[in-house]
Structure 1
Amino acid sequence: MNSTDENAEWSEVIGFWFPEGRSLQIDAAKHKALWVWRMRGGAHEAVTRRFSELTEAAAAGRLAHWAADREGRLALIILLDQFSRSVWQGSARAFAQDPAALALTREGLSNGHYAALPTPWFKVVFGLPLGHCEGPDHLARLDLLIRLREDIAAEAPVPLRPIYTSLVKQARDVRQIVATFGRHPHRNALLGRTSTREEEAYLTTGDFPHLRAFEGQDEGE
């Protein structure tokens, strides 16, 4: 495969995951609807149909060279952190790529790839593994994620700021859950983990931070 073919493949991933494109003049209501589509499973069927093979290749490490380009790195993060959750939905493998996605994010924060991304929506997705990947440094990573999202919200076009402010709140809510339980309890059953009594009470509520984005926003915002 030549470099042009590779670029076309990662451009297809980015074009699919970000239908709003790159213009910061996007209508706020339309942009919010696309975030809901991305974050609440609206793309599961299309992802599985179109990107299963590419997600398998990324998980096997065959696309690691994409990370030399900032948008190739973003596309890899999308495959490993987002599309894996659709392709392997309902199994532990959905989360097995989280460490690899986190490594891509960390390196991209240090080598300038993150800072060079052209839109706030690219940056939000680039940072998702900081909160998704469980581990001993999870709270420190969530603190970093909150700071990054605060910066994104402050720099976003004024009509879009309520959307990105809500994503700051979501990251804070996730931090509270991880500070309480040390992990994402809603994954316990899929990962074969025994829930504590406190986790069982939390799970019974069904009130999970990854379903709370955009709460408190009016449709016109």
Structure 2
Amino acid sequence: MTRRSDDPAWRTVLEFWFPEGRSLRIDADAHREHWFWRMRGGAHDAITKRFSGVTADAAAGDLDAWVSDPDGRLALVILLDQFSRSVWQGSARAFAQDPAALGIAMEGLTNGHYAALPTPWFKVVLGLPLGHCEGPDHLDRVDLLIALREEIAADAPEHLQPIYRSLVRQARDVRQVIAAFGRHPHRNRILGRPSTPEEAAYLEEGDFPHRRAFEN
């Protein structure tokens, strides 16, 4: 049985993943620290301790009813696209939910749910699957991701705009990787796929876009 879209479990996910809440008056330095925490593994241990069960439920499709609400849709994307990477870190299953997360995110872009999200940080996270999910249309999706982030940066409060401009730059860096390789080479070992010589050289450098967020 799927859970109702107003299940408080999705509220718990959002409250955990967005400690800054919904106020656009958030201090810029505090907000930057929240992004570092989200994007550079600071939440890993807490995710595995608190959210392994609900992440497995999401992966099994048991929480699909959440998509009837914009916040519920966002919470489901967080479980599938973000928490899966902690719960199943180091295994191919960490990325197995990417297609489902992408479908949920893309639908949110067309049905008004993305536009209904009240903060730039909510919108950025709903858009993450566009860059994360590999596939033949990956480059087109990254172009869409860049356009979305440019809009987010332009609409963000002035004191937060440098943070969101840095996320535009990061998306452009991702585009360079996908344009060159058609996939994320840093996943090759975990997914058991061989690297091309060009990918091996890239991996040797170790300069990956997901590690460059907020760099000037």
SS at match of 1:163: helix
Whole-angstrom distance in 2 between the partners of 1:141 and 1:3: 30
Whole-angstrom distance in 2 between the partners of 1:71 and 1:3: 13
Give 1:184's aligned residue: 184
SS at match of 1:22: coil
Structural RMSD (CA): 1.1
Matched, 1:41 2:41: yes
Gaps of 5+ in 1: 217-221
Q: How does 1:187-206 map to 2 (within 5 A)?
A: 187-206=187-206
Whole-angstrom distance in 2 between the partners of 1:145 and 1:187: 20
1:2 CA drift (Å): 7.2
Asked if the contact 2:149–2:164 (Cα under 8 Å) also holds between the matched residues in 1, the reply is: yes
Gaps of 5+ in 2: none
Give 2:84's aligned residue: 84
Whole-angstrom distance in 2 between the partners of 1:167 and 1:109: 19
Q: How does 1:99-110 map to 2 (within 5 A)?
A: 99-110=99-110
Whole-angstrom distance in 2 between the partners of 1:17 and 1:68: 20
TM-score (norm 2): 0.98
Give 2:174's aligned residue: 174
Whole-angstrom distance in 2 between the partners of 1:49 and 1:168: 32
Equivalenced residues, count: 215
1:7 CA drift (Å): 2.9
Identity of aligned residues (%): 71
Whole-angstrom distance in 2 between the partners of 1:49 and 1:213: 26
Give 1:67's aligned residue: 67
Q: Which amino acid aligns with 2:34?
A: L
Whole-angstrom distance in 1 between the partners of 2:90 and 2:123: 27
Give 1:219's aligned residue: none
Give 1:28's aligned residue: 28
Whole-angstrom distance in 2 between the partners of 1:73 and 1:56: 16
Q: How does 1:109-188 map to 2 (within 5 A)?
A: 109-188=109-188
Q: Which amino acid aligns with 1:90?
A: G
Q: Map Cα deviations across residues 103-160 of structure 1 (whole Å, 9 max, x no partner).
A: 0001000000000000000000000000000000000000000000000000000000
Q: Which amino acid aligns with 2:84?
A: S
Asked if the contact 2:98–2:132 (Cα under 8 Å) also holds between the matched residues in 1, the reply is: yes
Whole-angstrom distance in 2 between the partners of 1:137 and 1:62: 28
1:3 CA drift (Å): 4.4
SS at match of 1:114: helix
Give 1:53's aligned residue: 53
TM-score (norm 1): 0.96
Structure 1 runs of 4+ with >4 Å offset: 1-4
